[in-house]
Chain A
Amino acid sequence: MDNNAARLPDEFSPLNLSLATLAQLSGLKLRSRRVVEGLLAGEHRGAGQGLAVEFAQLRPYSPGDELRRVDWKVYARTDKLHVRQYEEDVDLCVYILLDASAGMGYKRSASPLSKFEYAQILSGVNAYLALRQNDSACWAASGKDVDVSAPFRGLNQWMTFLDSLDETSVTNRLPNGNASISAALSHVLTRWHRKGLVLVFSDFFDAPESVESALKRLRAMGHDCRVYQVLDRDELTFPFNNRTRFVDLELDARGLDAEPSQIKTAYLEALERHLSAIRSICSALEIEYRLAPTDVPVEQILRGGGTP
């Protein structure tokens, strides 16, 4: 555990990130599987060639090349001027997109966290990982409007990052439906030009087609992407018995009176179909997919151990 993490206060509320949790993240690094664009030298392979230690290739000298880059040993052997080229290491830009729709506010009575709160924790931890390795991180929350933060860099800005993240909340129920995560993604991509790692935290209860469309655009812009589908255990198991009036969290005036025991099986089957569709889209677009039930520890999710 590094010193910055050790200074974190125990009462890291409302995000509920404990020192123990952060300690368990000590071996983790946030990596992009793709080439990213960075402004500063960093741990990630950049698109350009710079002054790094790792040799890349020789190329014939062109006028205007710096003489100090000429490889004189090669000139002696070949009588031709060649310039030495090295790979460029740049910093990573981590984009975090939080689904702040009303549906993310669902929380079962036994659970301490709503889906949104759980997504906030996950976001914070990912930001911690990014800032710890001198990468930059910024977040956007998709509610009625899309809030986008400025980039943060350095571990000393982590607390600032968390504070700004803490100020976001789920939107209220809307009469005509909520902004979908797909629309929000399309919106933020107009702001996030620099290729980086996009982390999406949502329950993905949108239509699979719109999700696919948004993710395709993201991939086309060259971003690496990781999808966290945050679901409550109730949504996964439907454990209800008593006759219930289900009220839509997102769309006002939509509800259903039902015997849970009567529709449980059909619900679980429909849910499984939806999850499979989301998984398939991610797989096709080479996007990493992680299911994040809110009752699974954060570090387990980060290590890829979420319940599928």
Chain B
Amino acid sequence: MKLLRTLMAAATALAVTAFAAPSFAADDPGPAAYAKSLNGKRVMLVPLAMGFDLAQGWAHYLKKEVEAWGGTFETRDPNWVVDAGAQAITDAIASDTRPDVLIIHAPDLNSYSKLMKKAQAAGTYVLLVDNPANFPADAFVGSDWDKLGQLEAEAAIKGCGENSSKKIGLVQGDQANSSSLYQYAGIMKVLEKHPDFQVVAKPDSNWDATTSRNVTTTMLQQHPDICSIIDFWDGDATGASAAIRDAKLDGKVFLVTTGGGEKAADCDKLEDGTYGAVVMTDLARQSGDMNAIIKFLLQSGQPAGTSHTYIYTLEKATTKADLKPDSCWDLKALQAEAAAK
């Protein structure tokens, strides 16, 4: 009897709380403050180019979010030309509709530093995405390229196995882009811990698939017993894979690369065995991180350039064995979705 009474009392208390809750919500100051600081704010993305999967993915997810909270989202397309990017940023800062947040995909460590400083001085928060630069931005969102290189090296070592030649070839990007330089540093860190593994060649592809194919062909002829190749970007790794295919070494050379986790670029190629492992960026989550820090900055009231946050995206080396239906995002599907609107 006593137990029953206690239970009933508890139930009554619960019911009271439940009914009382809406009245609390009505007084929640959150939504009003949120709308006040975010409504009508402008966000601009200046990637290296709009023509590749990462930029198109970011733009898709950011646009959805920014427009949902009442902001305006714009992109600029420098089409891989550094000067055009600089021009776009300069114009944006000087225009009447100066963006409140500028998201910049830096081509190298230094090119845009002065412009980003100008933007902050004008009151625009600057976010760096994907490629780090020598500049204290309000936030950096992207890969820790050193860590990413370590993951690649670990995947390559695992792909080679203990009873292999333990020879690894690298196809670097170039000698100016931070993503290439830090990736290399990360790879070498892991290989130092595995002195039995050696890098037999490390040519540059200049991010070009034909060059990647040519240098990989030469590399495989010089060292036919290479057990793994790490190509620094899935955008040109198609070249390295063509060289492996031509040398009839499919299945013998474990090709590791990195990319934005787009279905056709990464998952399909893991599935068909072209790539052995891909260190993929979770693009939706990365875009979500950007959106969260944008919301924080716009509500913080702090002047641009006050704080410097690093938000590294969780990276993981994915192989065919751990492919799941949601391992990748599908650019075609996003484009179809955008076209349907």
Chain A complexes with chain B: no
* Contact surface of B with A, Cβ cutoff 8 Å: none
**Which residues of A come within 8 Å of B, CB atoms?**
none
